[in-house]
Structure 1
Amino acid sequence: MPMFEKSSPQGFWQRLGCRILGAWLRFRSVDPERPESVITSDTRPVIYLLPVSALSDRLALSIFCQRHRLPSPDGDVCLASGQHFPAHLALFDAAHYRRHRGHVDRSTSLDHLITTLEQHSDSDVDIVPVTLFWGRAPQRERVGLRHLLTSDGWSLVGRLQRLAGVIINGRSLEIRLGEPVSLRALMSHGDVDQQFNRIRITRFLRRYFRRIRLQAIGPDLSHRRTLIRRVLRQPAVQEAAHHIALERGEQDARALQRAERYGFEIAANMSAPVLRFLYQVLGRLWNRLYDGVDVHGIEDIEALAGTHELVYVPCHRSHIDYLLLSYVLYQQGLMPPHIAAGRNLDMPLIGPLLRRAGAFFMRRSFRGNRLYSAVFNEYLHQLLSQGHPVEYFIEGGRSRTGRMLSPRPGMLSMTLRSHARAPSRELAFVPIYIGYEKVLESNAYIRELRTGKKRKETPLGLLRVLRHLRQPFGRVQVSVGEPLALGSYLDQRFPDWRSQPPGADADWLREAVPDLSQEIATRINHAAALTPIAMVALTLLATPHRTIEIDLLLRQLKTLYALQAQLPGGKRVRLPEQGPREWIERSEYLGMVSRIEHSLGDMITVSDERATLLTWYRNNILHLFALHALVAFAFRNNASLDFETLDTLLAPIWPALQQEYFIEDDDTPFAEHLNDVLDVFVALGLLKRQGEHWHRPETGNEARERLYLLGRAIQPTLERGFILFSTLMHYPSGTISREVLEAQSQLLAERLTRLQGLNAPEFFDRRLFAGLLDTLERDGWLWQSQERLNFDARLPEALMKSRALFDPALRHRLTELTAGRPHTEASA
């Protein structure tokens, strides 16, 4: 039978307090959602354990148990030995805990209970840890100044402030129940020394409560000046300051003063009241700007928040990214991270606010400033080692093209070195994809893509965003990618990394940084969300004149959806809701496309200026269709192909596409991927199989049009590669430098876009040519000697085979374009 004793009669004040508070308290957030499922033991009595004794917490717990029909915490429980104990205990007495500033190793409230269990081996109890947060239910929270000053934090407050907190935040109460744990089981893992065993149990429970509080409100925010002083005391900073002092012929104290200035230039000054205030401001801003924010996969972060140091690595598409992610995390009951921001954002008005919201600022380059580098490295290490979540963008800056940019190694390298200093800590990267139906900076991106110049951020420039508050910007998708546990990742790839020094010249570190950056970028892309705008853009930009009949557009959108449903381009792809007709209407509503009414059937079109912007949205999802489009493009100039020929044509191209679009290389042979695509194409009617050959549909068949539109999506990428190879083939091996080849290829690509009447600046982005050359060097097609590119006969042969992919007219145009050598000398 259950061992729960009937509650003893409550005192008058206890009953009065419960009656008064019961009418006022609202538990806005309960974890778990079904608390009655936590306490299932029918053989052992249950004792609730609070971290610190407080009357308000005891009354709130009593009210909560009454409402959910849980065992009462107000009476006594009876052990098997016949002894009675209170049904609730506190780990520490608040006054004792405050008097010793938290340095307490013993819990007197548990001592007597543990002693009893030691004397009676047949007795046991289940301890249920309970944590309450007053004013920390963000999904329903109302915040004003009074709420900011009375919400829970790390410090213990006095009775008056506690009373004010109960009155003000009583309707925004969060409670978290831990899993019941057998006290005897805790004792059985202890030392022979009973005194030490009691201290160990107390420390275990104390760490549990700290982990729960850490997950909810983040680490205890030390004073900024204290943190900077701790950074300055580190040996690496002291050594760098001494080195600089010797170089400049000055005292070490002078160099340390300079280091201190760097510290204040860098360090965040996160403020809990400012975070809560910004939560409300941003909530209203999102409601004004967007139709909603959809969050996917947040449970993966919740599972790691209490046990791992978290490094959030989102893609960077808009200035809104870091504000949006902090808002989403706070709304979900998680601590917003410290965010690495460019020093260009540390401007009047904006900078101080961002700094109090958790931003720490960094210069674009540390090169040549050893002292600044040492201070920044130590500051980042202090954040991570103290359990502060950190966020940075591995792309460095915002993507003006909409695609994932090549990762920058700086922050990743510093994170790895920090982790190598204390490899026993658990650290996890959390990739996050943020997708916008309409990006806030759309007009700025059009201007920057057209002119190739970026406008410098100013307070006035950022405030101009307010002019757009009345425009619709659709919905935002925030998708959490597959987290990456750093220790396990390094153990698999570099088994000896723990035994090697974490210096910048470590062999494992030089290899780990590019590998890790590629892996994180791939996991971000794997979590991409298909938005209506991106789907429409992918189809519309594949048409010759950026105009398409609605019936064909509807069929193509259905095809794109079916391809991702049956053979997704990423592990965590988010498919859009509703259907193709609603996607078109949404694109019209957001002003991205226009409808042309016609008696024979309406058409959808886009202006030249909007077409440039649509490339940004198309590039958000192009990587998901790269393989599908590559196979479709092979049938543009070939009516029929057998499997062997198709594999020979496409297999050499696929690694370059994987590198450019950050697509996972899962060691699966390309032939298997190709076979899967062909099967899906046959099922959707895009191809017909006859024996060992696959045939494209006949001319005039609507399936032929769908196949053509799909293949056109990858055509610019293949044309860019053809230009690069053709240019290289005009020079003998070992006679042209990489820099010259990139420059010439960029000029030829730009010329091609002008001749075709296109306005697509991202087509001749030099970084794309650089990335392709990186892939060719990695795979052994090219190598450098004396700063010149070398190749063997395999590359010309591959180029000749690839010509079969292009129709004669396009092949002639590309060949003619690269036939004449540019004026730039190969030896330049």
Structure 2
Amino acid sequence: MPLKSGAVGRVDLDWLYCFLAFHQGYRMAVLHTLLTPLRGLCRALLGRWLEYRHVEAQATPLDPTRPTIYVLPHPALSDTLALELMTHREGLPRARGHIDLGGARLPACVALPRLSRGLTQVRGRRSLALDSLLEQLAEHPEQDIQLVPVSVFWGRAPGKDFGFWKLLAADSWQWTGRLRRLLSMAVNGKHVQVHLGAPLQLRSLIETRPLPVAQRKMARVLRVHFRRVRARVLGPDLSHRNTLIRGVVDSPQVRQAIREAATARGTREERETRRALRYGREIASNTSYPVLRFLYQLLRRLWNRLYDGVSVNGLDDVKALAGDHELVYVPCHRSHIDYLLLSYVLFREGLMPPHIAAGRNLDMPLIGPLLRRGGAFFLRRSFRDNRLYAAVFNEYVHRLISRGHPLEYFIEGGRSRTGRMLTPRPGMLAMTLRSFARDPRREVAFVPVYVGYEKVLESGSYLKELRGGRKKKESPFDLLRVVRRLRQPYGHVTVNIGEPLRLSGFLDHHVPAWREHRREARPDWLTQAVTTLGATLAQRINAAAAITPISLTALSLLATSHHAMEADLLKHHMRLLTRLRQHLAGGERITLPTGDPEAWIAHAAHLGFIERHPQALGELVLATPEQATLLTWYRNNVLHLFIDMALVAFAYRHNARFDLAQLRALLGPTWPVLAHEFHLPAEDFDARLHRALDALTSEGLLVQSAQDWERPAGHLESSEHLRLLGRLVQPTLERGYLLLAVLLREGSGTLTRDALEEHSRQLAERLTLLSGLNAPEFFDKRLFSGLLDTLEAQGWLWREGDKLCYDAVLEQAQERGRALFDPSLRHRLTQLVHRQEA
């Protein structure tokens, strides 16, 4: 029977398909036969060369007894071989060969196929191996398997050496070709980072969904995981700078600002648009992966020259958030080294360095372009009167946050010249809050960071400024000065991560209705929320402080009249301070120095902070006037950690015995002032008082009876320790006494705030000169300003017009506070005020 032409065509096609399939299978068999020895040779060579860092998910560790299949984000022989070698060396389920599942042989390692890129969209292809795996599990309900996602990064592990080829061959967001991958294996084989994700249990996936849905769900979960890991390690994919700037200028918010600026200035919108583009180029960073790697290598060598080491604590909390949170790092600002050090630490630990808000004063020749390519974006110190600049900057920050770029800025604004945590400024915090309220889909997490130096690089300039010198403007020649200091010892650096703060939870707690008004340009709740947020972050930074041998030396020596102590007494007091700190709750993130007091004193002498004088009756340790002035900076770094115990100790300076009610009445009104100055929670004074009393009693500094606490006899060493501890809070209490004495003498409604601040500052300066003290930070005007802020916030003061007013309650509180001071000290302060008025 003759066949129809269509049938003949189908038969011919069937034969053609069979022939092609046979030919393809024959080719694959031949290729497999030829490539298997070559693959073994590559594995053997790579095994001799490969060094890796294994990063495993913390939440769900790998179960080595369960059938395991590893999944790579894309096909790459180098990644497969690296994974095979790692699993073999560490005794994990093998990634080489096949596993048996219900009679079927499945590959132990598979890769997601590359995305197919069309003209208008990117589509994910199906993985036949993973689809067949799910089908096999569906047919065998008694079987289960764990799917382990694996990400391999070449040239991204810490410790790699500097070199052009390493910069060229290291991983980035772009998929690499075969030649560059071969180069990467040769150059970066000793610097590989392997991330094992949390195992995915496939049985639970197919039991709750039809098979086709489970296949799509599995592929989507894997691709999201790989993208999050890649974003955590490499940062978000960097947009072209010019495109980003053009998008900022074309946004509705900036276009509105352009129209308003054109109307106000009487210019055309085209001219204001060019001005906005100029602002965008002035602000925007130009992050470059090769420059980041270059800076890492440069900084690694710099830290090895400058410091004995860099310790990092608490970074696991950051790694847990990095995948699906927008991270905003908020370090304390003590040195220009802060932002370089934090970026170095994050890069070393496998996290993407943040985009850093830097002052425009750093956008100088040589330094500015390098910082800009390292992730810095620049802002003017003030742009309140330039609404167009403010609109461009706000939109730029919003785009960074919405795209998932980590940020870093200093809530204090400038560097602290006194070593204290400065009052947070609202600018960048307000921008972050507005950006999150505008698009709250991606959670924002603030990461407080405390950086503790044993010797800060700017010691010389800070010393001059503490003595009244003017702040020196930065210049490129500062690099030469740094080079000259490379031979000097600078001790150890500690980077402590504070408790992260999730912004949505913070707003839900403090501003429950924020979502209802989040689309407003400047909602009513913003100002108070920014103030509370800044105070909370400052407290969390302080709660992660690092106590160093230098800060312990400063706390002890500066508590003496002439900055000199017997060496044995100094050792006992330094050890006592560490034990007292351990007694207090809330110190989980605080770090203490290792070693013993003898080593601490020797280290302080080595860094040039003290002098040791042998003497027939025992060694003496002292600080010269210059050293004492510099030590105030390091004392102020950690003074807040002891201020509650110091306040209790100071109460016993003039009084031998107190019961709990007397201490609460005497010290309670003072605590909010101290809490504001030292950025501590003001609402838990009773709990702090009990903990301080328990700590002092346990160390023998107070003796507890049935009803009260008594100081020890004056001839005992514990009495001397109590006196030294109380001296820590004395400068703050003296400042408060001076300010209130001036205000009460002049009367309610007679002084403006500025006049009271300046007059109190002058009296404090005069007191230091008459007392022979070399402590310029004692009369820092900002401390008096903070004191007045607290008194106004607590309702002790209020303004009528521009005058400060008070009532009899303040007079009564000041009268009760007089009991803290012994008669001689009270007489000296009172006489100083009266003579100045006369």
- TM-score > 0.5, shorter chain as reference: yes
Give 1:660's aligned residue.
Answer: 677
Counterparts in 2 of 1:697 and 1:116: CA distance versus 1, 3 Å = closer
Q: Contact 1:697 / 1:704 at 8 angstroms: preserved in 2? A: yes
**Does residue 1:245 correspond to 2:262, yes or no?**
yes
- Choose the corresponding residue for 2:346, options 329, 332, 335: 329
- Choose the corresponding residue for 2:813, options 798, 806, 826: 798
Aligned partners of 1:570 and 1:112: how far apart in 2?
51
679-688 or 752-761: bigger deviation: 679-688
Q: Aligned to 2:112, what secondary structure does the other structure show?
A: strand
Counterparts in 2 of 1:539 and 1:111: CA distance versus 1, 3 Å = closer
One-letter identity of the residue aligned with 2:805:
N
Give 1:4's aligned residue.
Answer: none
Deviations 1:275-312 (A, max 9, x none): 11111111111111111111111111111111211000
Aligned partners of 2:735 and 2:625: how far apart in 1?
22
Give 2:154's aligned residue.
Answer: 134
Q: Aligned to 2:669, what secondary structure does the other structure show?
A: coil
Aligned partners of 1:115 and 1:32: how far apart in 2?
25
Counterparts in 2 of 1:69 and 1:578: CA distance versus 1, 3 Å = closer
Q: Aligned to 2:467, what secondary structure does the other structure show?
A: helix
**Does residue 1:600 correspond to 2:617, yes or no?**
yes
Deviations 1:202-233 (A, max 9, x none): 22211110011111111111121121122112
Q: Contact 2:287 / 2:374 at 8 angstroms: preserved in 1? A: yes
Superposed counterparts of 1:672-751, under 5 Å: 672-751=687-766
One-letter identity of the residue aligned with 1:136:
R
Give 2:82's aligned residue.
Answer: 60
Q: Aligned to 1:653, what secondary structure does the other structure show?
A: helix
One-letter identity of the residue aligned with 1:142:
D
- In the TM superposition, residue 20 of structure 1 has moved relative to its aligned partner by 2.9
Aligned partners of 2:60 and 2:138: how far apart in 1?
32
**Does residue 1:290 correspond to 2:307, yes or no?**
yes
Q: Contact 2:765 / 2:778 at 8 angstroms: preserved in 1? A: yes
Give 1:205's aligned residue.
Answer: 222
Q: Contact 2:134 / 2:206 at 8 angstroms: preserved in 1? A: no
Deviations 1:218-254 (A, max 9, x none): 1111121121122112110111111111222322222
One-letter identity of the residue aligned with 1:626:
I
Superposed counterparts of 1:3-18, under 5 Å: 11-18=33-40
Counterparts in 2 of 1:749 and 1:496: CA distance versus 1, 3 Å = same
One-letter identity of the residue aligned with 2:560:
T
One-letter identity of the residue aligned with 1:819:
H
- In the TM superposition, residue 37 of structure 1 has moved relative to its aligned partner by 5.7
If the length of structure 1 is used for normalisation, what is the TM-score? 0.93
Which runs of 5 or more residues in structure 2 are unaligned?
1-28
Give 1:309's aligned residue.
Answer: 326
Give 1:147's aligned residue.
Answer: 166
Q: Contact 1:10 / 1:74 at 8 angstroms: preserved in 2? A: no
Q: Contact 2:59 / 2:198 at 8 angstroms: preserved in 1? A: no
Give 2:20's aligned residue.
Answer: none
Q: Aligned to 2:162, what secondary structure does the other structure show?
A: coil
Give 2:557's aligned residue.
Answer: 540
Q: Aligned to 1:781, what secondary structure does the other structure show?
A: coil
One-letter identity of the residue aligned with 1:605:
L
Aligned partners of 1:187 and 1:373: how far apart in 2?
52
Give 1:186's aligned residue.
Answer: 205
Aligned partners of 1:106 and 1:188: how far apart in 2?
24
Deviations 1:590-620 (A, max 9, x none): 1100012211111111111111111000000
Aligned partners of 1:279 and 1:189: how far apart in 2?
47
Q: Aligned to 1:220, what secondary structure does the other structure show?
A: coil
Aligned partners of 1:808 and 1:423: how far apart in 2?
58
Counterparts in 2 of 1:119 and 1:468: CA distance versus 1, 3 Å = closer
- Choose the corresponding residue for 1:32, options 24, 31, 56: 56
Deviations 1:140-167 (A, max 9, x none): 3123110111111111122111111111
Counterparts in 2 of 1:11 and 1:806: CA distance versus 1, 3 Å = farther
- In the TM superposition, residue 188 of structure 1 has moved relative to its aligned partner by 4.9
Q: Contact 2:75 / 2:111 at 8 angstroms: preserved in 1? A: yes
Structure number with greater Rg is 2
Q: Contact 1:502 / 1:509 at 8 angstroms: preserved in 2? A: no
Aligned partners of 2:299 and 2:289: how far apart in 1?
15
Give 2:426's aligned residue.
Answer: 409
Aligned partners of 2:339 and 2:542: how far apart in 1?
18
Counterparts in 2 of 1:421 and 1:549: CA distance versus 1, 3 Å = same
Q: Aligned to 2:495, what secondary structure does the other structure show?
A: strand
Counterparts in 2 of 1:36 and 1:61: CA distance versus 1, 3 Å = farther
320-329 or 248-257: bigger deviation: 248-257
Give 2:7's aligned residue.
Answer: none
The Cα RMSD (Å) is 2.3
Q: Aligned to 2:795, what secondary structure does the other structure show?
A: coil
Give 2:776's aligned residue.
Answer: 761
Counterparts in 2 of 1:503 and 1:467: CA distance versus 1, 3 Å = farther
Which runs of 5 or more residues in structure 1 are unaligned?
1-7, 824-828
**Does residue 1:781 correspond to 2:781, yes or no?**
no
304-313 or 494-503: bigger deviation: 494-503
- Choose the corresponding residue for 1:91, options 112, 115, 120: 112
Superposed counterparts of 1:115-126, under 5 Å: 116=135, 120=139, 122=141, 125-126=145-146
- In the TM superposition, residue 506 of structure 1 has moved relative to its aligned partner by 1.2
Q: Aligned to 1:507, what secondary structure does the other structure show?
A: coil
Counterparts in 2 of 1:74 and 1:590: CA distance versus 1, 3 Å = closer
Q: Contact 2:57 / 2:196 at 8 angstroms: preserved in 1? A: no
Aligned partners of 1:676 and 1:47: how far apart in 2?
53
Q: Aligned to 1:707, what secondary structure does the other structure show?
A: helix
Aligned partners of 2:59 and 2:499: how far apart in 1?
29
Q: Contact 2:151 / 2:196 at 8 angstroms: preserved in 1? A: yes
Aligned partners of 1:34 and 1:297: how far apart in 2?
14
User: Where has structure 1 moved over 6 Å in runs of 4 or more?
Assistant: 33-36, 98-102
- In the TM superposition, residue 118 of structure 1 has moved relative to its aligned partner by 8.6
- Choose the corresponding residue for 2:248, options 231, 238, 242: 231
Q: Contact 1:532 / 1:586 at 8 angstroms: preserved in 2? A: yes
Give 2:824's aligned residue.
Answer: 809
Aligned partners of 1:106 and 1:611: how far apart in 2?
69
If the length of structure 2 is used for normalisation, what is the TM-score? 0.92
Instruction: Quote the sequence identity (%).
Output: 52
- In the TM superposition, residue 23 of structure 1 has moved relative to its aligned partner by 3.0
Aligned partners of 2:346 and 2:727: how far apart in 1?
39
Counterparts in 2 of 1:326 and 1:69: CA distance versus 1, 3 Å = same
Q: Contact 1:730 / 1:821 at 8 angstroms: preserved in 2? A: no
Aligned partners of 2:774 and 2:614: how far apart in 1?
26
- In the TM superposition, residue 561 of structure 1 has moved relative to its aligned partner by 1.3
Q: Contact 1:92 / 1:109 at 8 angstroms: preserved in 2? A: no
Aligned partners of 1:126 and 1:70: how far apart in 2?
13
Q: Aligned to 2:295, what secondary structure does the other structure show?
A: helix
One-letter identity of the residue aligned with 1:781:
W
Counterparts in 2 of 1:440 and 1:551: CA distance versus 1, 3 Å = same
128-137 or 459-468: bigger deviation: 459-468
One-letter identity of the residue aligned with 2:178:
R
- Choose the corresponding residue for 1:575, options 585, 589, 592: 592
**Does residue 1:75 correspond to 2:97, yes or no?**
yes
Deviations 1:172-220 (A, max 9, x none): 1221122221334334555x7x766544432221111001111111111
One-letter identity of the residue aligned with 1:17:
R
115-124 or 789-798: bigger deviation: 115-124
Aligned partners of 1:577 and 1:298: how far apart in 2?
20
Aligned partners of 2:71 and 2:170: how far apart in 1?
22
142-151 or 50-59: bigger deviation: 50-59
- In the TM superposition, residue 798 of structure 1 has moved relative to its aligned partner by 0.8
Give 1:434's aligned residue.
Answer: 451
